[in-house]
């Protein structure tokens, strides 16, 4: 789920857009005199259809309010001046085909525009009741009052990443970006300037005569002076990758990164907000910072911006984030990725839709890549890239996203390495010819070199640990063998003792045996025989004597 806010130029209207898996929602908040939302609740809530996908959002028909003088806050009778209700309408593009016009004072859409067929981007216009839209071959200004196209600027068939109305030399101009920054005069339908930026443009904002241009996937903001032939006057280095820009005051711009928000006055850094600030906009009485608690925006009113301000999320959000923190894909999402292995054509169509969208959601691109690990399908998908009219944009954006993710943690085992391998094998020649992509290649190489340096240390540590483990296992085996040998020897001694005791017992038993003829043992029979022989001898002697006597 993704949630973000869009504030109108005066800071009196804020739209909170919530993108869910099942449906999308738009919540509108109304601020009164910069003192916070009326009642602190959602003024209007729009639940969109289940299949509706929001591709672009912009306020229009709004006027930037000037800060009022304290002397004019009340009239002579002591009553406040009548304040008009905040004017502003929200243009919402659904599925690149339908535009809804929403108002905070109506619970149903004011307009449902379907005749434009294909719309990729919308932006506000300086003309009342009008907004700019990017169609396949033109930039058009659409008037909701007449329901007709009031202005049209022909553009080549390409992916425009952002549109921004600007003013220079008292003229209303239009700036749009892709791989170049282009300024056109809608009144004359002529091109004023074309500036090479070297990389796809992520966002454009104007403050006074300065035009601030942020590139996708970069921490650099290029600053141009519109009153001096659009000459580049400065390059600003931000704390991280710039996700979006916002105009904060007459001559102030704010740059948003992942965990830091920086405010620049012209080309000088003046304020830094640390923390998960999703949006920061100005009002007549101060500033408002937006911090999300899951899908609920929390508005922090700030009277004056200090040099450094720490903004913390709610404690409940911190606790929940601790529970859900885990091994990421990349995208700060701990959900496990289920392998789907889509057919090449379906995979190509999904990647094309994600990569050529006006706002590229990197987490969705990475999740789609991680859910497909079949090398044959991946190889065939890159072959389909070569046949596409958007092949340059597809290769540039996909290589940038995948290389940044792999380079961020080269030691981790990831399925993205398969994608990186095949995009280099199939489109490596084109990547080498692009200056910006060569920079990503150099970063990737440095990351791999650092990873290999760390890998050698990890392998050495792993070898030591394995050696210690082998020593421990060997000692354990020796100890077990000694214990087993001792047990065997003790068992043998026990067997010998048992045999000796059995032999003694058998001898004692034999001594006690009495045979059936009354004889006790062999020695007794021998003694009896000797006695009987001795008796016979005595008898014979007697008989001999008796013969003599008779004679």
Residue 78 lies in a domain: no
Ramachandran angles phi, psi of 111, nearest 5°: -140, 150
DSSP tag of 50: T
Distances (CA, A) of 551 to 86, 538, 539: 179, 20, 19
Buried b (16+ CB within 10 A) or exposed e, 327-356: eebbbeeeeebeeeebebeebbebbbebbb
123, 194: one domain: no
pLDDT band at residue 33, thresholds of 50, 70 and 90? Answer: low
The residue that leads in pLDDT, 504 or 26, is 26
pLDDT value, residue 83: 38
487, 534: one domain: no
pLDDT value, residue 328: 38
pLDDT value, residue 138: 92
**Quick one: 246 exposed, middle or buried, by C-beta within 10 A (0-12, 13-18, 19+)?**
buried
**Cα separation, 211 vs 232, whole angstroms:** 9
Structural domain harbouring 374: 342-505
pLDDT band at residue 455, thresholds of 50, 70 and 90? Answer: low
8, 101: one domain: yes
pLDDT band at residue 5, thresholds of 50, 70 and 90? Answer: very high
Read off the pLDDT of residues 156-182 as tens digits, 9 standing for 90 and up: 888 899 999 999 888 899 999 988 999
In whole numbers, what is the pLDDT of the chain averaged over residues? 79
Residue 250 lies in a domain: yes
Residue 453 has pLDDT above 60, yes or no: yes
Q: Which residues contact 139 (CB under 8 A, 6 or more apart)?
A: 132, 133, 152, 153, 155, 160, 163, 174, 176, 184
124, 9: one domain: yes
Residue 150 lies in a domain: yes
pLDDT value, residue 318: 40
Residue 93: name the closest of 360, 358, 356, 297 by CA: 358
33, 152: one domain: yes
Residue 515 has pLDDT above 60, yes or no: no
32, 150: one domain: yes
Q: Which residues contact 404 (CB under 8 A, 6 or more apart)?
A: 217, 440, 443
Residue 539 lies in a domain: yes
pLDDT value, residue 1: 55
Read off the pLDDT of residues 300-348 as tens digits, 9 standing for 90 and up: 888 888 888 888 766 544 444 443 333 334 344 435 678 888 898 999 9
The residue that leads in pLDDT, 1 or 283, is 283
**Cα separation, 312 vs 318, whole angstroms:** 9
The residue that leads in pLDDT, 359 or 416, is 416
pLDDT band at residue 150, thresholds of 50, 70 and 90? Answer: very high
Q: What is the mean pLDDT of residues 419-443?
A: 83
Among 207-211, 351-355, 506-510, which stretch is predicted with the lowest mean pLDDT? 506-510
152, 163: one domain: no
Residue 73 lies in a domain: no
Residue 444 lies in a domain: yes
118, 267: one domain: no
Residue 464 has pLDDT above 70, yes or no: yes
Give the DSSP per-residue string, 411-470.
TS--THHHHHHHHHHHHHHHHHH-HHHHHHHHHHHHHHHHHHHHHHHHHHHHHHHHHHHH
522, 471: one domain: no
Ramachandran angles phi, psi of 160, nearest 5°: -85, 130
495, 407: one domain: yes
What own/partner pairs with CB < 8 Å and gap ≥ 24 does 474-483 have?
none
DSSP tag of 236: E
Read off the pLDDT of residues 353-374 as tens digits, 9 standing for 90 and up: 888 887 788 888 888 998 988 8
8, 119: one domain: yes
Read off the pLDDT of residues 218-244 as tens digits, 9 standing for 90 and up: 999 999 999 888 889 999 999 889 999
HSE value, Cβ hemisphere, 13 Å, CA-based, for 205: 22
**Quick one: 159 exposed, middle or buried, by C-beta within 10 A (0-12, 13-18, 19+)?**
buried
Residue 294 lies in a domain: no
Domain endpoint, select from 156, 184, 208: 156
pLDDT value, residue 330: 39
Per the CB < 8 A criterion, the answer to whether 326 and 320 are in contact is no
**Cα separation, 112 vs 52, whole angstroms:** 13
Residue 437 lies in a domain: yes
Domain endpoint, select from 156, 179, 198: 156
pLDDT value, residue 253: 94
Among 98-102, 132-136, 476-480, 503-507, which stretch is predicted with the lowest mean pLDDT? 503-507
Q: What is the mean pLDDT of residues 395-420?
A: 82
In terms of pTM, does the model score above 0.85?
A: no
Residue 450 has pLDDT above 80, yes or no: no
Percent of the chain with pLDDT over 70: 77
pLDDT band at residue 63, thresholds of 50, 70 and 90? Answer: low
Domains contained in the chain, number: 4
The residue that leads in pLDDT, 286 or 204, is 204
Q: What is the mean pLDDT of residues 16-34?
A: 78
Q: At 201, which CATH number?
A: 2.130.10.10
152, 253: one domain: no
Domain endpoint, select from 242, 274, 306: 274
The residue that leads in pLDDT, 254 or 487, is 254
Residue 32 has pLDDT above 80, yes or no: no
């Amino acid at each position: 789920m993704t949630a973000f806010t869009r504030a109108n130029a005066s800071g009196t209207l804020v739209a909170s857009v919530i993108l869910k898996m099942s449906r999308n929602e738009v919540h509108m908040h109304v601020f009164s005199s910069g003192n916070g939302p009326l009642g602190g609740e959602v003024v209007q809530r729009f639940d969109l259809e289940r299949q509706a996908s929001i591709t672009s959002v912009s306020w229009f028909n709004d006027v930037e309010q000037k800060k009022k003088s304290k002397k004019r806050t009340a009239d002579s009778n002591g009553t406040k001046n009548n304040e008009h209700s905040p004017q502003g309408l929200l243009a919402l593009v659904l599925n690149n085909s339908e535009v809804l016009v929403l108002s905070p004072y109506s619970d149903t859409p004011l307009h449902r525009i379907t005749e434009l067929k294909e719309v990729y981007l919308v932006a506000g216009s300086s003309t009342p009741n009008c907004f700019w839209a990017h169609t396949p071959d033109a930039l058009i200004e659409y008037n909701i009052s007449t329901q007709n196209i009031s202005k049209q600027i022909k553009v080549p068939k390409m992916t425009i990443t952002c549109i921004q109305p600007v003013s220079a030399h008292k003229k209303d101009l239009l700036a749009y970006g892709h791989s170049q920054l282009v300024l056109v005069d809608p009144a004359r339908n002529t091109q004023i300037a074309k500036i090479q930026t070297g990389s796809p443009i992520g966002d454009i904002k104007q403050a006074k005569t300065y035009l601030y241009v942020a590139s996708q996937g970069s921490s650099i903001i290029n600053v141009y002076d519109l009153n001096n032939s659009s000459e580049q006057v400065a390059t600003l280095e931000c704390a991280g990758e710039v996700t979006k820009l916002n105009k904060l005051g007459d001559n102030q711009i704010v740059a948003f990164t992942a965990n830091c928000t920086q405010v620049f006055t012209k080309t000088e850094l003046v304020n830094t907000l640390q923390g998960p600030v999703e949006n920061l906009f100005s009002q007549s009485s101060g500033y408002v910072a937006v911090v999300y608690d899951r899908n609920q925006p929390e508005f922090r009113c700030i009277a004056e911006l200090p040099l450094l301000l720490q903004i913390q999320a709610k404690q409940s959000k911190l606790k929940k984030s601790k529970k859900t923190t885990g091994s990421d894909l990349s995208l700060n999402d701990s959900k496990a990725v289920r392998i789907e292995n889509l057919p090449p054509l379906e995979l190509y169509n999904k990647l094309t839709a994600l990569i050529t969208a006006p706002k590229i959601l990197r987490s969705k691109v990475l999740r789609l890549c991680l859910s497909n690990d079949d090398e044959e399908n991946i190889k065939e998908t890159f072959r389909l890239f070569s046949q596409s009219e958007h092949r340059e944009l597809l290769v540039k954006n996909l290589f940038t996203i995948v290389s940044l993710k792999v380079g961020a943690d080269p030691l981790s085992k990831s399925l993205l390495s398969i994608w990186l391998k095949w995009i280099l094998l199939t489109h490596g020649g084109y990547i080498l010819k692009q200056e910006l992509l060569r920079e990503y290649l150099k970063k990737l190489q440095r990351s791999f070199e650092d990873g290999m340096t760390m890998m050698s240390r990890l392998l050495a540590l792993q070898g030591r640990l394995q050696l210690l483990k082998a020593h421990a296992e060997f000692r354990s085996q020796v100890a077990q063998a000694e214990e087993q040998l001792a047990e065997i020897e003790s068992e043998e001694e026990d067997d010998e003792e048992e045999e000796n005791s059995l032999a003694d017992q058998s001898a004692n038993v034999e001594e006690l045996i009495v045979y059936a003829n009354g004889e006790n043992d062999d020695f007794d029979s021998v003694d009896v025989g000797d006695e009987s022989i001795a008796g016979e001898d005595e008898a014979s002697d007697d008989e001999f004597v008796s013969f003599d006597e008779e004679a």
